[in-house]
Amino acid sequence: MQNYGIIGYPLSHSFSPVIHNMAFKSLGINAEYSKIEIKEENFERHVLSLKKGNWQGFNITIPYKEKIIPFLDKIDPISEKIGAINTIKVEEDGGWTGFNTDYIGFLKPIQSHIDKIKSCLIIGAGGAARAAVYGLSAKTKIEKMLITNRTIKRGQILVDQIKTFAKINCLFIDLTELKNEKEKVDLIINTTSVGMGAQKDKMPVDPIPFSYKNTIVYDLIYNPVQTQFLKAADSAGLNTINGLPMLIWQAEASFNIWTGKDFTSVLVNQLFKIL
Ligand code: ATR
């Protein structure tokens, strides 16, 4: 029996065990995928104990996508550029290799709009934001990025970093100053956790002032299916996308790294139906 798991905190909202356990079952792989919920104060000790256990791979989620990096033995070059990890493969020799599949999942639902996306507003500057920034800069013709974040320093660090690998006009805007910003953008993305769990009645930012009729409003949250952020956009007649497609497609990319196999189309259809 192989063992896989998702490391994060909290994990009560996570659909990843359902996805991967269905995938293992449908492909006849004898493996189990479990939740490994670790509080911040126990992180180092718990991760070091996982390194000694019988594990073949992990997913990493909020709030550890950056904090896990010092525990890796290798990191693939794209993931190093992104600076955040959501997948670990345990190699034959026990070494941990880190990957980022979030950017692959992030791009899938906007694939058909990719040529039209020239500007965006990104809310947040954590691991998910980094994956979105990389995906957009590598695969679209984006010219302008506005980034806002609760912690100013973290937002500014991300903006400075983007400038090292992409020729994009990239600006940080303080959350409190967003109300003075008049610019309309093609894509608005919420990468924060505002809109889920205890914060499910909140919006990270009101998307409407930054929207015009073709703006796509994309929330990386998948639970709830429609956040307040997406509700506001939907009520204004805007094109909205939730985090479910990204969740499913990043999971497939992780699964492929671990097993060399893709999800079947039957499984993908089933996942979209039940999740
Ligand atoms: P992930 O790796 O999934 O992106 P993360 O690195 O913990 O998770 O990042 C979470 C993002 O949500 C950050 O941009 C965080 O803002 P800070 O950099 O200020 O921590 C943002 N975030 C989380 N809770 C928030 C809140 N209550 N209000 C505003 N932003 C919040």
Q: What are the pLDDT digits (tens) for 144-166? A: 999 999 999 999 999 998 988 88
SS3 52: coil
d(CA 229, CA 61): 21
User: What count of residues does the chain have?
Assistant: 275
Q: Domains in the chain, ordered, with CATH?
A: 2-100+246-274 (3.40.50.10860), 104-242 (3.40.50.720)
- Mean of pLDDT values over 52-77: 96
Evaluate whether 122 touches 145 at the Cβ level (below 8 Å).
yes
Q: By alpha-carbon position, which residue is closest to atom 12 of ligand 1?
A: 192
Q: How far is the CA of 62 from the centre of ligand 1 (A)?
A: 9
Check residue 55 and give its pLDDT.
Answer: 98
- Mean pLDDT, to the nearest integer, of 211-220? 98
pLDDT at residue number 165:
83
Query: How much is the pLDDT for 242?
Result: 98
Please report the atom of ligand 1 found closest to the CA of residue 175.
29
Confidence band, pLDDT 50/70/90 cuts, at residue 133: very high
Do the Cβ atoms of 219 and 247 come closer than 8 Å? no
* Protein residue closest via CA to atom 9 of ligand 1: 126
Q: Cα(218) to centroid of ligand 1, in Å?
A: 16
Question: What is the rounded distance in angstroms from the CA atom of residue 190 to the CA atom of residue 49?
Answer: 34
For the beta carbon of residue 226, count every other beta carbon within 10 angstroms.
14
Ligand 1 atom nearest 151 alpha carbon? 19
Nearest residue to 159 via CA among 172, 177, 142: 172
Q: What is the pLDDT of residues 28-37, one digit of tens each?
A: 999 999 999 9
What is the model's pLDDT at position 92? 95
Q: In testing the pocket of ligand 1, which one of 192, 194, 199, 247 has its CB within 8 Å of the most ligand atoms?
A: 192
Question: Ligand 1 pocket test: which of 14, 193, 222 has the largest number of ligand atoms within 8 Å of its C-beta?
Answer: 193
pLDDT of 179 reads 85
Q: How far is the CA of 129 from the centre of ligand 1 (A)?
A: 9
Could you tell me the pLDDT band of residue 180, with boundaries at 50, 70 and 90? confident
Please give the distance of CA 48 from its chain centroid, rounded to a whole number. Answer: 24
154 CB less than 6 Å from ligand 1? Answer: yes
Does 186 have pLDDT greater than 90?
yes
Over residues 215-219, the mean pLDDT reads 98
Q: Is the CB of 20 under 6 A from ligand 1?
A: no
- Residues with catalytic roles: 65
Tell me the backbone φ, ψ of residue 241, rounded to 5 degrees.
-135, 135
Residue 231 pLDDT more than 90?
A: yes
**101 alpha carbon, distance to own chain's centre:** 8
Q: Tell me the torsion sign for CA atoms 131, 137, 140, 143.
A: positive
How many helices (H) and strands (E) the chain has is answered by 9, 12
Residue-level pLDDT at 123: 98
Looking at the DSSP bridge assignments, the partners of residue 60 are: 7
Q: How far is the CA of 193 from the centre of ligand 1 (A)?
A: 6
Tell me phi and psi for residue 272, to 5 degrees: -60, -30
